[in-house]
Structure 1
Amino acid sequence: MQQHHPKNWLLLRGLARGVGHWGTFAEKIQERFPQDRFEFIDLPGNGTRNEEVSPTTIGDYVKDLRSRSEFVKKNEKFNVLAVSLGAMVTVEWMREFPHEINKAFLVCTSSSGFSPFYHRFQPINVVKSLRLLSSNQALIWENTILNMIVNSADRREAEMLGMVAYSDRYPVKMQNILRQLAAASQFRFPKEAPGDVRLIGSHGDRLVSPHCTLRIAHAWELKPHMHPWAGHDIPIDDPQWLLEQLL
């Protein structure tokens, strides 16, 4: 049996999603790698940090998260698993501080330098998103979002109550969503991979076109690891498949 050397992991969510939106995946990854150490940190403006103001530049997210990471404070290298906006932050982190991150697993992310805006946010979601502007009810919020980012009805049902409870306790402010969108829209990935990266996407992503992952992979000359059917939130849709990609 192959020996598993303990690793450090930092997990980052994306736009308007907090640590609680990992759902049961947070438990599953710790069960799968019981010897490893994990940090779950909210982006400013999300989750338990919902009263803070979100930065409008990706570099400021890096600065903020580095000041909070115990791995950074102890000068310990780590892996990152990051989704969407969190993956953009990770790319900039690797570019600015190339010796801190061992390997990055980037899930369903995109870059304005590689993909047009209508691939980075597929137009079919515009009308659905407008529903969120007129509602502050966690049930409507999570039902709308999970229907956009999770393709499995069974997985949506299994995670719904927990997601609703979390979003009810830590509602994200619309101004922070707009600030996060501004940061994401302006950020461009470097022309070459900033370090050891595994690109993970899904052919079933209905929020961000799978072409976004494929174009990054092409530019960086990397093999993309594509799920056949999951939505944008692969950790929720098919947690076991994602765990296999981390080996």
Structure 2
Amino acid sequence: MLNDLILGIINFFTSTLAGITGLGGGTILLGLMPMFLPASAIIPIHGTTQLASNISRVWFGRQELDFTYFRPFVVGAVVGVVFFGTAVKFVQLDLIPLFIAIYILLTQWSKTINRLLKSLENFYLIGFLQTGIGLFVGAPGPLHMPLLMKKYDNNDVVVTVGSLMMTLIHVLKLTVYVILGFAFFEYWQVILFMVVSASLGSWAGVKLRNRLPMNWVKTALPYILTIIALKIIYDNAVKFGWIAF
């Protein structure tokens, strides 16, 4: 119960952050979840939580919705879930936290990876890659945000359309884990805490978006995520016996 409550509180703040800035919240939450949940439950529960967070963000910002670039994103995402979904069942679930940590470090510090990701100028390809990455590391990162910021001048539209795209990714991801037989009901309590806190955080984020300056987040985020990623790597190195005392 205490772990569930702590995760709910963390989720409220990360959802609020995402509601204000459109980025960072889901990745921070994902990096902290291995401290509270078994490896096999991280991606499905994170997906459930982020689905609630993004749906609520879309609802609270629905007046800003635009579907122009959502349609090609849908096509790419559906192809991505079919292509990558068959590979998930062959992955050793105990290694998922390590995948998450390595992905976080690469996206925060590898200039090559970042140039490659930022060069994506096609919503078909972005939808395909975000869905595929999301199946293995949970939070595929804001691959769609740079292009959305080029397409829209209004930050409210960028955040709302981006949240709609992430909603689709989490729906597809959870569908795959349902098919694989993940027992969501066994985790109903933590899911309930996190869905409620995600929705409240989204509401708070929308209300605070134009009132609370958060430019410092973009500067601090890489360092916050790096600390989280290194903690995950250290914990798993101890767990698998790669570090002996």
What TM-score does the superposition give when structure 2 sets the normalisation length?
A: 0.31
Q: Kindly indicate which of the two structures has a greater share of residues assigned to strand.
A: 1
What TM-score does the superposition give when structure 1 sets the normalisation length?
A: 0.31
Q: Which has the higher contact order (CA 8 A, sep 6+)?
A: 2
Q: Kindly indicate which of the two structures has a greater share of residues assigned to helix.
A: 2
